[in-house]
């Protein structure tokens, strides 16, 4: 979208200009860019209208690579600009007298006269222009999940670990996010699996197990990390781990097999080996009052119990993580 005024709109594609009025292509269009905007090159990347007084005169700003052109609509003259502080735009638009340059899924707000970018840019466009306010921390692949259950209020509190960040969904359905290092400085980056048990967080990274006491802030227990083999009775790394409410069993998924670890006994051993239904591998899994959710990529599958998960021979209905767990519209 390059120019919009009332019900009239101009759009540019390759070397052509298309002019629409009330959603209908006007007679004589498409026309060459050189005919409608003399002095403007073909194969543009972006364009945006800039009315007076936001620009010196009613103008259109055209972008092609790192070349910027101000086209004066009245005099039909072209002034080439240099916007040093702004990345190359793949699209641009004006909203509420502000100007936005998009480059991939990032964006910068800029001054249309000088190209200056004020503030901390670029920013993640999906954080600001879609309903999922924390998209930048939610990648297409949710790497690890653990579930806290507040039994007193029947509320499920989710914490999602993804990449170098974690997101927490609280009882008000509000998402907050931060880096892993801010709360779990000993980990430094993403972990392989995580679960909660008796007010403690258990995090597995490679062959090590880290344990934190839940609180503000979380407290790293002395003596950890310890080998996963020593603490859970299974060789690391593992793919997923979860504990269902009111149980004392950690369900460990490694490859296409699931194991049970009784957390009340020592030494702990991984037993009851069985397949994870129709899955060859998973990214993570979690368990709550409604059953088990198995997450692969940006989709998840629901099972009423671990028994039904293991016994399944076909995939159940596929659900979208971003839409159904985070309420995003994409």
In angstroms, rounded to a whole number, what is the distance separating the alpha carbons of residues 302 and 315? 10
User: Looking at residues 144-158, what average pLDDT do you find?
Assistant: 35
- Same domain as 294, residue 253: yes
- Same domain as 105, residue 59: yes
- Same domain as 259, residue 119: no
- 177 in a structural domain: yes
- Same domain as 165, residue 96: no
- 140 in a structural domain: no
Domain total of the chain? 2
Residue 68's domain comprises 10-127
Query: Is the pLDDT reported for residue 273 higher than 80?
Result: yes
DSSP string for 257-314: EEEEEETTSSS--EEEEEE-TT-S--SEEEEETTEEEEEETTEEEEESSHHHHHH--S
- Same domain as 228, residue 115: no
Q: List the single range of 165-179, 182-196, 225-239, 292-306 with lowest mean pLDDT.
A: 165-179
pLDDT grade for 148, boundaries at 50, 70 and 90 = very low
- Same domain as 321, residue 186: yes
- 281 in a structural domain: yes
Enumerate the β-bridge partners of residue 254.
257
Residue with tokens 């949710």: 142
Cα–Cα distances in angstroms (integers) from residue 291 to residues 90, 285, 305, in the given order = 44, 11, 5
- 5 in a structural domain: no
* CB of 162 closer than 8 Å to CB of 326: no
- Same domain as 189, residue 55: no
- Same domain as 238, residue 194: yes
* CB of 132 closer than 8 Å to CB of 321: no
User: Looking at residues 48-56, what average pLDDT do you find?
Assistant: 94
- Same domain as 278, residue 171: yes
What confidence tens digit (pLDDT) does each residue in 75-121 have? Answer: 999 999 988 888 889 999 998 889 999 988 889 999 999 999 988 88
Q: Note the pLDDT of residue 153.
A: 27
Q: Is the pTM of this model over 0.95?
A: no
- Same domain as 150, residue 104: no
- 3 in a structural domain: no
DSSP run (H or E) holding 219: strand 219-220
Q: Note the pLDDT of residue 237.
A: 86
Query: Is the pLDDT reported for residue 144 higher than 60?
Result: no
- 2 in a structural domain: no
Q: Note the pLDDT of residue 14.
A: 76
pLDDT grade for 264, boundaries at 50, 70 and 90 = very high
Query: Residue 156 is encoded by which pair of tokens?
Result: 């499920």
- Same domain as 152, residue 68: no
Query: Is the pLDDT reported for residue 223 higher than 90?
Result: yes
Q: Note the pLDDT of residue 34.
A: 92
- Same domain as 276, residue 209: yes
The CATH number given to whatever domain includes residue 59 is: 2.110.10.10
Query: Residue 202 is encoded by which pair of tokens?
Result: 């258990």
Regarding predicted confidence, which is higher, 135 or 293? 293
What whole-number percentage of the chain has pLDDT above 70? 78
In angstroms, rounded to a whole number, what is the distance separating the alpha carbons of residues 286 and 251? 10
């Amino acid at each position: 979208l390059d120019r919009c005024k009332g019900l009239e709109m101009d759009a540019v594609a390759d070397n052509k200009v298309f002019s629409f009025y009330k959603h209908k292509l006007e007679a004589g269009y498409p026309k060459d860019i050189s005919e409608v905007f003399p002095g403007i090159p073909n194969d543009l990347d972006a364009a945006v209208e800039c009315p007076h007084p936001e620009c010196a005169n009613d103008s259109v700003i055209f972008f092609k690579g790192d070349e910027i052109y101000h086209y004066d609509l009245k005099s039909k003259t072209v002034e080439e600009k240099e916007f040093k502080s702004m990345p190359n735009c793949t699209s641009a638009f004006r909203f509420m007298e502000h100007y936005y340059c998009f480059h991939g899924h990032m964006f910068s707000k800029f001054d249309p006269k000088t190209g200056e970018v004020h503030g901390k840019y670029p920013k993640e466009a999906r954080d600001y222009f879609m309903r999922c306010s924390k998209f930048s921390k939610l990648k297409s692949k949710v790497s690890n999940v653990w579930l806290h259950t507040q039994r007193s209020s029947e509320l499920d509190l989710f914490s999602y670990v993804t990449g170098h960040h974690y997101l927490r969904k609280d009882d008000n359905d509000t998402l907050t996010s931060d880096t892993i290092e801010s709360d779990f400085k000993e980990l430094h980056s993403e972990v392989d699996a995580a679960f909660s048990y008796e007010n403690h967080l258990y995090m597995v990274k490679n062959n090590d197990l880290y344990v934190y006491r839940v609180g503000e802030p979380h407290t790293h227990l002395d003596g950890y990390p310890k080998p996963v083999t020593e603490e859970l009775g299974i060789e690391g790394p593992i793919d997923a781990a979860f504990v269902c409410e009111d149980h004392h069993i950690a369900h460990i998924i490694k490859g296409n097999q699931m194991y049970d670890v009784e957390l009340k006994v020592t030494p702990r051993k991984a037993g009851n080996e069985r397949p994870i239904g129709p899955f060859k591998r998973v990214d993570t899994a979690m368990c709550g009052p409604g059953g088990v959710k198995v997450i692969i990529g940006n989709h998840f599958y629901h099972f009423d119990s671990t028994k039904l998960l293991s016994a399944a021979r076909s995939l159940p209905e596929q659900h979208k993580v971003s839409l159904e767990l985070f309420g995003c519209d994409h």
